[in-house]
Amino acid sequence: MPVFRRPALLGALAALLAAPAMAQTQITVQHALPLNSHYGAGATALKETLERLTNNRIRVNIQRNDNEREMIESVQIGTIDCTITSTGPVGNFVPAVRNVDVPFLFRDYAHARGVLDSEIGQGLLNQFTPRGLVGVIWMENGFRHLTNSRREVNAPADVRGMKVRTMENQVHMRAFSTLGALPTPMAFSELVPALQQGTVDGQENPIPVIVANNLNQVQRFLTLTAHVYSPAVLICNPGTLNRMSAADRAHFMEAARAAQRANRERVSADEASGVDELRRRGMTVVTQVDTAAFQAALAPAFAEFERTLDGALLRRIRDWRPAGG
């Protein structure tokens, strides 16, 4: 009798062991900031929404990685599934994205979000496909401001000679060199040690990043230059999405939209409270900035960007207005 039952028992056991593996898929999403940040808010919304919509058939594992370029490379080769990253290093993979990194291109948050959610933004996301990536949806890092440990910055001349950490982004580096600064590109993971050791004098990031990473501990002065809007983007490996059913891909897009909303809401909240919080932590904040002077000082860089980037696209972005606006 055991001879007849053993194959059936083994078959049932094998099916039981295989069932959970077949029923559940895990997706890894990496980003460069603490969980309590605007990227963390987006990643958490993605996770909660996708797991709810798929009844936990698809689980999302959120991980932190301070090296954005490394994350994009990992998505490209498929060792991780997705990343939420600023566009800082993305232009090295998708050159068209460099256009949205031009200083003073966007007037305000409504302008930036409107452009990226329009056919202009979708056209840029389409450029990811030939590069072995999927640009899923635009997210947000925020308007970047300048901090340093040397002096108050009130005018372009105050930046001259200052060693400023930038992202590994040729557009940003060209802008700072035009101002007479010494741009020093490095991964975000290297930033705090470089500031502590005096390798660089300053850095530039949005208020939410400065707050979330306690950069007030290594920087004394903050100037609200808003010199460039820093988009973020959810990028995924094509294979990850192609393995999903059509229904699950639709669920993923719904989760991505939830991530975008949560991310932008957190940026808005951090922008509203962050400056006061940084003052409370002891930073000296310069709020009145002569933006026109900075734009005038950057004129040679702007002329170069018109030649080396997509001048027609830059004009479309600058001229964009909401429907009926």
Q: Is 316 exposed, middle or buried (0-12, 13-18, 19+ CB in 10 A)?
A: middle
pTM of the model: 0.88
Of residues 14 and 220, the one with the higher pLDDT is 220
Q: What is the pLDDT of residue 187?
A: 87
Extents of the domains making up the chain: 24-318
Which amino acid is present at 21? A
Give the model confidence (pLDDT) of 119-156 as tens digits. 999 999 999 999 999 999 999 999 999 999 999 999 99
Give the model confidence (pLDDT) of 24-42 as tens digits. 899 999 999 999 999 999 9
> Has residue 3 got a pLDDT over 60?
no
Q: What is the pLDDT of residue 168?
A: 86
> Has residue 9 got a pLDDT over 50?
no
Flag the least confident range among 18-32, 76-90, 197-211, 223-237.
Answer: 18-32
Q: What is the pLDDT of residue 14?
A: 44
Q: Is 304 exposed, middle or buried (0-12, 13-18, 19+ CB in 10 A)?
A: middle
> Which of these CATH numbers, 3.40.50.1980, 3.40.50.150, 3.40.190.170, 3.90.870.10, describes 24-318?
3.40.190.170
> Has residue 7 got a pLDDT over 60?
no
Q: What is the pLDDT of residue 23?
A: 59
Burial profile 137-149: b = 16 or more Cβ within 10 angstroms, e = fewer: bbbbbbbbbbbbb
User: Cα(194)–Cα(221) distance, rounded to whole angstroms?
Assistant: 16
> Has residue 304 got a pLDDT over 60?
yes
Question: Token pair of 260, please?
Answer: 């975008």
Q: What is the pLDDT of residue 325?
A: 62
* Chain mean pLDDT for the chain: 92
Give the model confidence (pLDDT) of 60-88 as tens digits. 999 999 999 999 999 999 999 999 999 99
Question: Token pair of 215, please?
Answer: 């950069």
Short-list 133, 55, 37, 57, CA closest to 92: 133
User: Mean of the pLDDT values across residues 233-247?
Assistant: 97
User: Cα(322)–Cα(221) distance, rounded to whole angstroms?
Assistant: 36
First to last CA, the chain: 82
- Three-state SS for the chain is CHHHHHHHHHHHHHHHHHHHHHHCEEEEEEECCCCCCHHHHHHHHHHHHHHHHCCCCEEEEEEECCCHHHHHHHHHHCCCCEEEEECCCHHHCCHHHHHHHCCCCCCCHHHHHHHHCCHHHHHHHHCCHHHCCEEEEEEEEEEEEEEECCCCCCCHHHHCCCEEEECCCHHHHHHHHHCCCEEEECCHHHHHHHHHHCCCCEEEEEHHHHHHCCHHHCCCEEEEEEEEEEEEEEEECHHHHHCCCHHHHHHHHHHHHHHHHHHHHHHHHHHHHHHHHHHHCCCEEECCCCHHHHHHHCHHHHHHHHHHCCHHHHHHHHHCCCCCC
% of the chain with per-residue pLDDT over 70: 93
Of residues 288 and 114, the one with the higher pLDDT is 114
